[in-house]
Structure 1
Amino acid sequence: MTTRPTPAQLAWQRDGFGLFLHFGINTFNGREWSDGTLDPTSFDPTSLDTRQWVRTAVAAGARYVVLTAKHHDGFCLWPTATTTYSVASSPWRDGRGDVVAELAEACREADIGLGLYLSPWDRNAPCYEDPEAYDAFYLEQLTELCTRYGPLYELWFDGAGSEGRTYDWEAVTALISEHQPDAMVFNMGAPTIRWIGNEDGLASDPCRYTVDSTGISIYDDGAALLGRARYLPPECDVPIRGHWFWQPDDLHTLKSREHLLAIWYRSLGLGAGLLLNVPPDRTGRIDPADGARLLEFTAEVERSFSRPFVPRLATGPGGTVEARFTRPVVLDHLELNEELTDGQFISGHEVLVDGEVIASGRTVGVRRIHAFPPVEVTKLSIRLTGSGSRLAGISGFFTGRGAAPALEEQPRGATEKFDDPVH
């Protein structure tokens, strides 16, 4: 275990933003979770277009996508040798289709990362009740995904439904180390990134990267406590609508541009990653309403943060960091970036103009965004707390938006869509 990030972890943190693609047999049956008994012939997208998914992701500024290659129902979006409960038993592409292969090709063409979600819980596999047999079954599925589709950016292991079940994570880890050593591993086994702890897409301050073996932060005011510390940055996941899989009757739950911006400030803006779910519909394409709202939101991010004012940095009195601009500039946002090569050290910070604090917080991490009323500045002073604290960069912006948007109360889905009372 180490409190220093690997180059792959740092690259993942800097990329920051990805799209989740919940797609599968549930899409065609109005379900969120199903029990593995839905007819595989119901999977039949009329015009599946993974290049449209990827074009949408690229246009939104996402650096990777994560596809639900197998959800809890056990239906596989690739023609696996392990089960007939897959696209091979569907009428789509006359049973010869492979959603994972088509998405992998589209990602390669666009130079965007491919992530795959493989649920450990499988409600269709007859061998699931036999742990040893199911471990072998699961490893075979994972081997197929890790060896057929080129480099993987992220492997996503959902813990839902697996309470009290122990899988052979040692074998899973060895397999990933052999075939996909650079892939980020989410949440289970030997993870390299962790879940933020909610499905609202929200991090908090402090946003810690160093945790103990249980995933709990072990830092207090920048001082590491004894324990098996490891560097494990968080990923926030959230659906663009009220459900994860596309549903025909929940358009009213589509999040507003302002709510999505509020999520952005409270995930990426606090130093976490953001995985925003934008699910393909029954045609096999991103729903036009979802795509339009996504691009409306990300266009506002681009408008606000594409023209930075970058100051020169120097050490000021008392160890403060001084940021000097070449001319007076009006700012209403500031982005701070911590130097993370040796780990995360900043546990507190204040930004001052002429001795007055205009922004403050605890952690900085890979990026920390502050919004404040417009102020004209030539020089900023930044006080850092935490032994070994260093900034890698500072950028100022004038957006015309002097405060972070407020989170809105979100409408519920039109109908209950769960086989189980817990999602």
Structure 2
Amino acid sequence: MKILIFLLLTTITLSVAGQNKTTATRTKNTIPIDIGDSKEMIIQKAANVVPTKNQYEALKNEFIAFIHFGPNTFTRMEWGNGLEDPKIFDLKELHTDQWCEAIKSAGMKMVIITVKHHDGFVLWQSRYTKHGIMSTDYKNGKGDILKDLSASCKKYGLKLGVYLSPADLYQIENPAGLYGNLSKYTKRTIPRVVPGRPFVNKKTFEFEADDYNEYFMNQLYELLTEYGRIDEVWFDGAHPKTKGGQQYNYMAWKKLINTLAPNAVIFGKEDIRWCGNEAGKTRNTEWNVIPYLEDPKLMNNFADLTEDSLGNRNNLYKGKFLHYQQAETNTSIREGWFYRDDNKQKVRSADDVFDIYERSTGGNSTFLLNIPPNRDGKFSSTDVQVLNEVGKRIKETYGKNLLSKASGPKEILDQNTSTYLLNNNQVLLSTPSPITINRLVIQEAIATHGERVELHALDAWINNQWKEIAKGTNIGYKRILRFPEITSGKFRIRILKSRAIPAISNITAHYYISRPPQIQFSRDLNGFVKLTPFEQEFNWKPHGEHAAQNLSTDVQIYYTTDGTEPTSSSLKYTQPFLINSREVKAVSYSKNVKGSVNTSLFGMTKSHWKILNGSSEKQSRNSPPNAIDENDRTYWHSKEGSIDPIAIDLGKLTVLKGFAYTPQKENSDGMIQSGIIQISKDGKTWVDAESFEFGNLINDPVRRIHYFKAPIDSQFVRLTPKVIAGDGKTVTIAELDFIEN
């Protein structure tokens, strides 16, 4: 007993001593590194860098919406040129309530809209330009999209933010434009008075500015005083074009924003940074305390930070200032920022969006998802379905805390982020009865103590011993640990490495109900088939993650090769298996719930095949071997204007019963509508074996199979196209398969 008391007192003493040491440095949003600071001192300072009140409130938003809407919606362009006639924005109706209802359903807390993109077209009734909604036929030029959206946000309890592009192609291309017009910096009053359009807000500012900076600040003034509370101002760093060495007076912009919108954070500047990509890719370790060579509070320009590591110890040693600057993980639900169409513009799956949600909000950043309205002023139904499903999963998974009745430190179980436990070793939790979990959420008290944990692990008491279940690096605002489900009544969170005594504010446990994913097939040139959860084809800025695998950690896959329906009693997939000219059926199970069966017919193995001829438009990417490489994302593309045959040596005399043609999906070029299969005894002299025809390829570019009327014996085969879909004058083949009898 005496030994136990001694150890307890020693622990308390060490904890207090450590606490005094780490609090010797006052917490601040930016802390300078002094000349002569040791590495230990730099890390101590980093452990005391904290977010501002506005930054912390922005982090608590977690999941927010982006809306790109403008002339590009109607021209189907990603970037306009500033020369568009405003009437191109041919909007007939607007449904901002529908937007906000879907956004609210998804669990988002704020909407940011592009009130002016790079083309310079404005979506509100600005006093300072005619290049915008006021020059369209929508509501006879009286429409105001921002006004309607602001009203809808209030109705649905959503915060509002505005994206105002510093780049402005209209002000560059217009002969009377203000961007880069070489005007002098003089004292200007913001806002500039416009007869007949007085402001209710009478606050004015005096700034040294040129014509474009005055124009920009006049518009900022309108946005921040006439549309209710603004919680984020979004400055894009992209510039399609510049002129006249135009510079931005950001220090003046900041003063105006901080005065008129005191609750707003500023994206692209010292408050919030870009995550470094537009794909939804997240860093494994996302530190928000990062080094700068200048004081961020005084900087006018902020470079994009795209490196894999920004705030590890070695990064921090190179800085002169340590600053809290959180990341927004931004991407689009569609292939592109603006809506183009419902047929060819793919939409992310609910699996993909939910996976990004967990990786971003559970990886110490904010998830900003773009949903572009269509030309009817609505979110398309597919987008809404995805948002509803994602919101359902978030509520289903994180709406119930499975540690609500647990025993342990009350400071971390009360779900109050303002309370915390100072502990430099471990946290023990127990539940009245065993619980089954596959998610654990951990938060640090960053508002008062900064980011400190560098490495941590979760253990569960299983079979009378501790078993490590998951491990993570930093925590920060929030870390979501994902792992295969486990059942236990005792859990241990170990802090393996930290910059100072950690202040843990919140721990909750959850269960994600896995959806049995559809199975997809792939095969290598040697004929070995691999079965994996279906990965959606999404060709815009790929993030490299496999959402279905990330989410479905408890999935088992079963398959058959004899034509029967697979069940949990069929062959269990554990590794790639060899298949030659056979049909494979596969199904996934999760918690005894059966998914849908998927089937694929495989042709001959191709390791010994050789291309005998075939022209190529681009030898490096579109050469003939791409047609037989077992990869339908590569393809052969003949020379333009040349509808060439492609001949193959199968390596041996083979009895064939059919072939399969997979068209490329990048565009509609070269799809073979009809042709002839020819055979040869020597690969030189050819005779017709059978003709074939495929329909509706352009609208439905999926794999097509043609079975021969009678088996064909040959070692050498040639496909000779006759008609190309859409009267094309070139040939493309993503994959060509021959099926052995």
Q: With structure 2 as the length reference, what TM-score do the two structures score?
A: 0.53
Residue in structure 1 matching 2:431, options 325, 337, 342: 325
Deviation at 1:224, TM superposition (A): 7.0
Deviation at 1:249, TM superposition (A): 5.3
Q: Which residue of 1 aligns with 2:501?
A: 388
Q: 1:243 to 1:59 in 2, by over 3 A?
A: same
- Confirm or deny that 1:142 pairs with 2:248: no
- Confirm or deny that 1:128 pairs with 2:179: yes
Deviation at 1:13, TM superposition (A): 0.9
Q: Contact (CA 8 Å) 2:213, 2:249: kept in 1 or not? A: yes
Q: Deviations over 1:347-384 (max 9, x none)?
A: 11111124321111111122211121221111211122
Deviates more, 1:140-149 or 1:294-303: 294-303
Deviation at 1:241, TM superposition (A): 0.8
SS of the residue aligned with 1:370? strand
Counterpart amino acid of residue 339 in structure 1? A
Q: Contact (CA 8 Å) 1:332, 1:372: kept in 2 or not? A: yes
Q: Which residue of 2 aligns with 1:421?
A: none
Q: Which residue of 2 aligns with 1:49?
A: 95
Q: Contact (CA 8 Å) 1:219, 1:225: kept in 2 or not? A: no
Q: 1:255 to 1:108 in 2, by over 3 A?
A: same
Q: Which residue of 1 aligns with 2:55?
A: 9
Q: Which residue of 1 aligns with 2:265?
A: 184
Residue in structure 2 matching 1:334, options 430, 440, 443: 440
Q: Contact (CA 8 Å) 1:332, 1:400: kept in 2 or not? A: no
Q: Which residue of 1 aligns with 2:120?
A: 74
Q: Superposed, which structure 2 residues align to 1:147-296 within 5 Å?
A: 147-161=225-239, 166-188=247-269, 191-213=270-292, 217-220=310-313, 227-248=320-341, 251-296=344-389
Q: Contact (CA 8 Å) 2:440, 2:510: kept in 1 or not? A: yes
Q: Contact (CA 8 Å) 1:267, 1:273: kept in 2 or not? A: yes
SS of the residue aligned with 1:124? helix
Q: 1:276 to 1:406 in 2, by over 3 A?
A: farther
- Confirm or deny that 1:347 pairs with 2:475: no
Counterpart amino acid of residue 434 in structure 2? P
Deviates more, 1:261-270 or 1:57-66: 261-270
Q: Contact (CA 8 Å) 1:332, 1:398: kept in 2 or not? A: yes
Q: Which residue of 1 aligns with 2:475?
A: 364
Q: Deviations over 1:202-256 (max 9, x none)?
A: 2212111112236763441897765211111111111101011111255551111
Q: Distance in 2 between matches of 1:75 and 1:223?
A: 41
Q: Distance in 2 between matches of 1:305 and 1:193?
A: 26
RMSD (Å), alpha carbons: 2.6
Deviates more, 1:75-84 or 1:398-407: 398-407
- What is the aligned residue count? 414
Q: Deviations over 1:257-299 (max 9, x none)?
A: 2221221222112121001111111111111111112212221
Deviation at 1:111, TM superposition (A): 2.0
Q: Distance in 1 between matches of 2:534 and 2:427?
A: 31
SS of the residue aligned with 1:248? coil
Q: 1:223 to 1:378 in 2, by over 3 A?
A: farther
Which structure has the larger Rg? 2
Q: Contact (CA 8 Å) 2:231, 2:263: kept in 1 or not? A: yes
Structure 2 residue runs of 5 or longer lacking an equivalent are 1-28, 31-48, 172-176, 183-209, 293-301, 410-420, 518-532, 541-664, 668-741
SS of the residue aligned with 1:280? coil
Q: Distance in 1 between matches of 2:179 and 2:434?
A: 65
Q: Contact (CA 8 Å) 2:291, 2:320: kept in 1 or not? A: yes
Q: Distance in 1 between matches of 2:100 and 2:424?
A: 49
Counterpart amino acid of residue 391 in structure 1? I
Q: Contact (CA 8 Å) 1:372, 1:403: kept in 2 or not? A: no
Q: Contact (CA 8 Å) 1:115, 1:152: kept in 2 or not? A: yes
Q: Contact (CA 8 Å) 1:336, 1:364: kept in 2 or not? A: yes
Q: 1:78 to 1:250 in 2, by over 3 A?
A: same
Structure 1 residue runs of 5 or longer lacking an equivalent are 416-423
Q: Contact (CA 8 Å) 2:179, 2:246: kept in 1 or not? A: no
Counterpart amino acid of residue 455 in structure 2? G
Q: Deviations over 1:63-93 (max 9, x none)?
A: 0000000000000001112211010000001
Q: Which residue of 1 aligns with 2:413?
A: none
Q: Deviations over 1:96-139 (max 9, x none)?
A: 11111111111122221001000000000111123622111111
Deviates more, 1:347-356 or 1:402-411: 402-411
Q: Contact (CA 8 Å) 1:35, 1:123: kept in 2 or not? A: yes
Q: Contact (CA 8 Å) 2:401, 2:508: kept in 1 or not? A: yes
What percentage of aligned pairs have identical amino acids? 29
Counterpart amino acid of residue 63 in structure 2? F
Q: Distance in 2 between matches of 1:408 and 1:71?
A: 30
Q: Which residue of 2 aligns with 1:419?
A: none
SS of the residue aligned with 1:150? coil
Q: Distance in 1 between matches of 2:666 and 2:120?
A: 26
Q: With structure 1 as the length reference, what TM-score do the two structures score?
A: 0.91
Q: 1:252 to 1:26 in 2, by over 3 A?
A: closer
Counterpart amino acid of residue 275 in structure 2? I
The structure whose RCO (Cα within 8 Å, separation 6+) is larger is 1
Q: Distance in 2 between matches of 1:208 and 1:117?
A: 25
Counterpart amino acid of residue 340 in structure 1? I
Q: Distance in 2 between matches of 1:381 and 1:23?
A: 48
Q: Distance in 2 between matches of 1:144 and 1:381?
A: 53
Q: 1:268 to 1:141 in 2, by over 3 A?
A: same
Q: Distance in 2 between matches of 1:406 and 1:210?
A: 37
Q: Superposed, which structure 2 residues align to 1:77-92 within 5 Å?
A: 77-92=123-138
Q: Which residue of 2 aligns with 1:399?
A: 512
Deviates more, 1:220-229 or 1:162-171: 220-229
Q: Distance in 2 between matches of 1:406 and 1:17?
A: 25
Q: Distance in 2 between matches of 1:318 and 1:121?
A: 48
Q: Contact (CA 8 Å) 2:422, 2:502: kept in 1 or not? A: no
Deviates more, 1:358-367 or 1:398-407: 398-407
Counterpart amino acid of residue 289 in structure 2? T
Deviation at 1:409, TM superposition (A): 4.6
Q: Superposed, which structure 2 residues align to 1:294-313 within 5 Å?
A: 294-310=387-403, 311-313=406-408
Q: Contact (CA 8 Å) 1:258, 1:406: kept in 2 or not? A: no
Q: Distance in 2 between matches of 1:15 and 1:337?
A: 15
Counterpart amino acid of residue 151 in structure 1? R
